[in-house]
Structure 1
């Protein structure tokens, strides 16, 4: 009698987590195939963009003496590391802005929420950028350029935190850019000045203290410098770099992005 009155647990009903995981997996595979297979030049541009920036910056380096401006790190690996970290954040933010509109048809299923395509797109970007970064490390070894991190644990840790910043900014930008399309243009236009102000391609240590004091409010400076510190043993980070500041910014923006998605969930569904 006791067995008849208590049905088995495996009755075919899935938990909320199992449903969410299935949704994320299906959307991840769909997004990954679309990202890598839809455009025949997709892989080329993902690899060519950092290479083009590196080659362009070699010219001023030959005149300015880039190695002399960076303490305890070669200029080319220093620049590649900064660019890859910045591109991880930038692409996470930019590609998230179109995630809601591109997947609006899926919102007819109650299991799919507007936050899901944003998280999935950032997961795809994280995997692709990590793979491309590994290709750069292997390519650098071929040309006898040391791009292997001296502190692999720290480098991986700060790479993951930078990815989280891309997720956080993507959550915010996906809501703001969808509800107010003009803001999407502002986000895109800000990426190039932000790259310069984040110390990605030129070192900030030699700027006047009065200027540097204001630039250090930019959290990406801290993230990029901490990533570089994991790659180059003894690297002298920009004065004022703070892991606590960068970590608190990451948590705060993640919380803000999630709150915005909860607050405007219904509006995003009906766009």
Structure 2
């Protein structure tokens, strides 16, 4: 009698599938208000940001060739996509450490599955806002659909890379996780989510454009408005250098410190 054997890829796929179902239940059904908060958070953030900008910068309706409300909403959703991938990845290995008793399950699996789920959830919620915008006569349909999809995937990939790096570093030293949480608010400000970076002097803009998130958000907005004027220096190549570099670094850290991450 011959025993059926599975390839490593089949084993990994089975692990990911089981962990994905576990994450879905934990993320969407553990709390009866989970879906409510997923929808209310961006609405509340948009309301607050509109109020802040109206108070600080007046009531201008257009920014660099784009309507203000869609411009802000696109920036918030793009930033949330990056932020949630990064932040939820940090606690993924610790939240699933009971599964490491199975040798097929590795810390990196928890990060990959959690980022995949976050991408699906954020995409679904964003599409709901697009449909709501059509009903409210708020134009949220991209002029360049494929470019918009690629920019969205680029921001997701950048968040995945950051999540891989910081989940490994936080597993080795929990202080890294606290530092990242503190840094999310400054990141939101310096990434051009609330205020257009074009309004800043060139001497300061040069340093702010070292931030790859700003490049991703500008490219995402440009895909929705053909007449949108991106910040000078915006580069898809620069964004992907950061993305591929962070993913490679994250993979190396997880490979090098796998046993320590299992014992955290």
TM superposition score normalised by structure 1: 0.94
Partner residue in 2 for 1:12: 4
Structure 2, gaps ≥5 residues long: none
Shift of 1:41: 1.9
Using the TM superposition, give the Cα deviation of residue 33 of structure 1 relative to its aligned residue in structure 2, in angstroms: 1.1
Q: Distance in 2 between matches of 1:188 and 1:175?
A: 15
Deviation by residue 1:99-152 (Cα, 9 ceiling, x = unmatched) = 111111111111111100000000000000000000110111111000111111
**1:48 corresponds to 2:43:** no
Offset of residue 67 of structure 1: 4.1
Structure 2 residue aligned with 1:215: 208
Please say which of residues 36-45 and 80-89 is displaced more in the overlay: 36-45
Partner of 1:123: 116
Distance in 1 separating the partners of 2:216 and 2:60: 21
1:190-249 deviation line (CA, Å, top 9, x unaligned): 001100000011111010111101101111000110111111112101111011100111
Q: Number of aligned pairs?
A: 263
- Which residues of 2 match residues 76-91 of structure 1 at below 5 A? 76-91=69-84
Runs of 5+ unmatched residues, structure 1: 1-6
Larger Rg belongs to: 1
State the match for 1:234 in structure 2.
227
In structure 1, the partner of 2:191 is: 198
Structure 2 partner of 1:4? none
1:73-222 equivalences in 2 (<5 Å) = 73-222=66-215
How many Å separate the matches in 2 of 1:231 and 1:264?
Answer: 42
Counterparts of 2:259 and 2:181, CA distance in 1: 25
> What RMSD in Å do the two structures reach over aligned CA positions?
1.4
Once the two structures are TM-superposed, the CA of residue 50 in structure 1 deviates from its matched residue by 1.3
Q: TM-score of the superposition, structure 2-length normalised? A: 0.96
1:26 aligns with 2:18: yes
